[in-house]
A = this chain, B = another copy of it.
Amino acid sequence: MKTLNLDLGAKSYPIYIGRGLLMQADYLRKHISGKQVMIVSNTTVAPLYLQKVLGLLDGFAVQNVILPDGEEFKTLNTVEQIFTALLEAKFDRTCTLIALGGGVVGDMAGFAAASYQRGVNFIQIPTTLLAQVDSSVGGKTGVNHPLGKNMIGAFYQPKCVLIDVDSLDTLDARQYSAGMAEVIKYGLLGNSDLLAYLQKNMPDLMARDKEMIVKIVHQSCVDKAKIVAQDELESGKRALLNFGHTFGHALENTLGYGEYLHGEAVAVGMLMAAKLSAAEGFIDDEQVSQVEDLLQKSNLPTTINSKIGQQDFMNAMSVDKKAINGEIRLILLKKLGQAFISSKYKVQNLELIIKDFL
């Protein structure tokens, strides 16, 4: 078991990473301060792990709310279901919300915890690779709006993150690959050692070698924790973590949810960002091919097969949260393993690459 600390002063918290953590009550229990616990999960994850987590919570007043599964349900309306469950149970501001599931569950449970009675305790138990390496760490919570992804939310930090990689046993192959996209992201944006490790070991990782998984999950969390600790509210450096995401969000927004998983959209987005980085002269075509190759070895998409209008795609990019006064800021690669924020690229290059993909 590995423990790492996300250093945010009074809001610091531990991230526990290992195998069999859902069999050990202590890590979870010591971060619950009140008596009332609401487990937020979904229809896919609850049948698999709810009983296990309940087994760790003997002596607490535990309730649960089971949400429908899918990004299309990540809305204010679904969060309202959590509020209703909390109020029906008469839970007060000493209660603790536990997110048990993937990124969608974590984002909504976190926003509910941030907003219920203006803020209650919150714990993350991510069960998908994507949530374990990315969304459960760093305190971004929120929901989608019909006009934009993750447009409504809060920065709200959990009391701890409990990552049991054994929960990946039940994750389907497509979801697993989608999570791997975010691991690749850490390699590309700032960690060339991790990138080299992924390039060398992707076949074994795809075969779900557990020791290797612990290693890459831990390294991803270390990288993310380091950046978040420097810039919790994303006024600067944290935007690097959105490498591939402005393109990816535009893809998700224009196609609607369901066509691509978030990680899949990010995979395509990272390749688009790599190609723009090449067009801008920062990396060469061989390096773009390396990115493409790694994504393909992870069974991730590298093309857009659906019809999207170019103007629709550009519009969707311009409402991204990184946009400032209508100008689309993008994360580009200076080299493989080093990203930077730019609004100085040639718009013509951006348009050519979008056209090429659509």
A residues near B (Cβ < 8 Å) are 34-36, 76, 80, 83-84, 87-88, 90, 92-94, 114-119, 140, 142, 145-148, 151-155, 233-234, 318-319, 321, 323-326
Q: How far is the CB of A336 from chain B (nearest CB, A)?
A: 30
B residues in contact with A76, CB < 8 Å: 76, 80
Q: How far is the CB of A133 from chain B (nearest CB, A)?
A: 21
Judging by beta carbons under 8 Å apart, are A142 and B118 in contact? yes
B residues in contact with A148, CB < 8 Å: 87
Partner of A118, one of B154, B318, B326: B154
Q: How far is the CB of A246 from chain B (nearest CB, A)?
A: 13
Q: How far is the CB of A343 from chain B (nearest CB, A)?
A: 12
A-B contact pairs, 20 of them (CB 8 A): A34-B325, A36-B325, A84-B145, A84-B146, A84-B147, A87-B145, A87-B319, A90-B318, A90-B323, A93-B324, A114-B154, A115-B115, A115-B153, A116-B152, A118-B154, A118-B233, A118-B234, A119-B155, A119-B233, A154-B154
Q: How far is the CB of A319 from chain B (nearest CB, A)?
A: 6
| A92 with B154, Cβ < 8 A, contacts A118-B142, A145-B87, A147-B87 known | no
Q: How far is the CB of A269 from chain B (nearest CB, A)?
A: 19
Closest to A148 in B: B87
Task: Give bound CA distance, A234 to B119, whole Å.
Answer: 11
Other than the given A92-B325, A119-B155, 12 more pairs (CB < 8 A) read A83-B145, A84-B146, A87-B147, A87-B151, A88-B147, A90-B326, A92-B321, A92-B326, A115-B142, A115-B152, A117-B153, A119-B233
Closest to A87 in B: B147
Task: Give bound CA distance, A36 to B323, whole Å.
Answer: 13
Partner of A140, one of B118, B154, B325: B118
Judging by beta carbons under 8 Å apart, are B152 and A83 in contact? yes
B residues in contact with A145, CB < 8 Å: 80, 83-84, 87
Judging by beta carbons under 8 Å apart, are A92 and B324 in contact? yes
Most buried by B among A35, A119, A151: A151
Most buried by B among A93, A94, A152: A152
Judging by beta carbons under 8 Å apart, are A92 and B323 in contact? yes
Judging by beta carbons under 8 Å apart, are A155 and B118 in contact? yes
